[in-house]
Amino acid sequence: MKKWIAALTVTGILFSGPLTSEAALGDRTLKANMKHQDVVELQSVLQKKGFFNSSHRNVYFGKSTKKAVMNFQKKHGLRADGIVGANTYKALGVTKKTTSQVKAASYSSSSKLVSEAKKHLGTPYKWGGTTPSGFDCSGFIQYAFKKGANVSIPRTVADIYKTGTKVSSLKTGDIVFFETYKKGASHAGIYIGGNQFINASSSKGVSIASMDNSYWSKRYIGAKRILK
């Protein structure tokens, strides 16, 4: 029991607050302190234009993102308020994506995520592990999302559970959560389709399991969607 608890308990960076719901870049106003996948895309656009210098892109609209937006706005004669609205999107050259384009981007991101996750099948479990030499469950998910989808997510299961959009119908790339040794989310994996998920378990390391497995099905508490 102690081994199981230790294997699933990690300390990490707090990243509280819900992630806003999904949409295509250009569909919503973005501003400081928001958490949304569109922020990652915004940072990418700003980086290509030479205004966002950090290689660490993530879903949080923090000080560095606001500064980049303000510098861009000043350069283009816009009100430098750090808020990304219609005029700033237009100057950035961002146009609304069609539904088919959004779906294609979503499929591409989730496909790359799962591909990256599967590269590490057989990797041993390591308490507090965040690298291919050994993962714990949340360290594995965080690594796969960063390497496979270029999205930064929280370090602990509890904090990951606070992000994203709650979903009842699963699709590839969703994060599935389980209640194991304590009340609330304490274990998680990445849904890969076919009613299966990939996770780093203390007994099998990085491996694929079925949602129908008697152990996991009894402990399943829901899923969150971070990728569009």
Q: What is the CATH number of the domain that holds 156?
A: 3.90.1720.10
Check whether residue 204 and residue 144 sit in a common domain: yes
Check whether residue 111 and residue 48 sit in a common domain: no
Structural domain count, the chain: 2
Q: Which domain holds residue 125?
A: 2-17+100-225
3-state helix, strand and coil shares in percent for the chain, rounded to the nearest 5: 35, 20, 45
Check whether residue 63 and residue 114 sit in a common domain: no
Predicted confidence (pLDDT) per residue in 81-91, tens digit: 999 999 999 99
* Count of C-beta atoms within a 10 Å radius of residue 87: 14
Predicted confidence (pLDDT) per residue in 179-224, tens digit: 998 889 999 999 999 999 999 999 999 999 999 999 999 999 999 9
Residue 22 domain-assigned? no
* Count of C-beta atoms within a 10 Å radius of residue 116: 17
Which ranges constitute the DSSP H helices of 23-179? 37-48, 63-75, 86-92, 99-118, 137-149, 157-160
- Is 187 known to be catalytic? yes
- Tokens coding 206: 């990085």
Helical pair 63-75 and 37-48, crossing angle rounded to 10 deg:
50
Give me the pLDDT at residue 99, please. 46
CATH code of residue 84: 1.10.101.10
Give me the pLDDT at residue 56, please. 74
Instruction: Name the DSSP class of 82.
Output: S
Check whether residue 190 and residue 105 sit in a common domain: yes
Check whether residue 208 and residue 112 sit in a common domain: yes
Give the residue from 22, 18, 63 showing the smallest Cα distance to 41.
22
- Is 137 known to be catalytic? yes
The one catalytic residue among 36, 58, 120, 137: 137
Check whether residue 114 and residue 70 sit in a common domain: no
The one catalytic residue among 53, 58, 187, 195: 187
Check whether residue 140 and residue 64 sit in a common domain: no
pLDDT per residue, tens digit, the chain (228 aa), is 333 333 333 333 333 333 333 346 788 899 999 888 788 889 989 998 999 987 677 888 999 999 999 999 999 999 999 999 999 999 998 876 544 544 555 557 899 999 999 999 999 999 999 999 999 999 999 999 999 998 999 999 999 999 888 999 999 999 999 999 888 999 999 999 999 999 999 999 999 999 999 999 999 999 999 986
Q: From edge to edge, which strands make up the β-sheet containing 165-167?
A: 165-167, 220-225, 175-178, 187-193, 196-201, 205-210
- Tell me the pTM: 0.59
* Count of C-beta atoms within a 10 Å radius of residue 100: 8
* Count of C-beta atoms within a 10 Å radius of residue 27: 13
List, as one string, the DSSP characters of 24-48.
-TTSS-B-TT-B-HHHHHHHHHHHH
The amino acid that residue 88 corresponds to is T
The one catalytic residue among 36, 58, 120, 199: 199
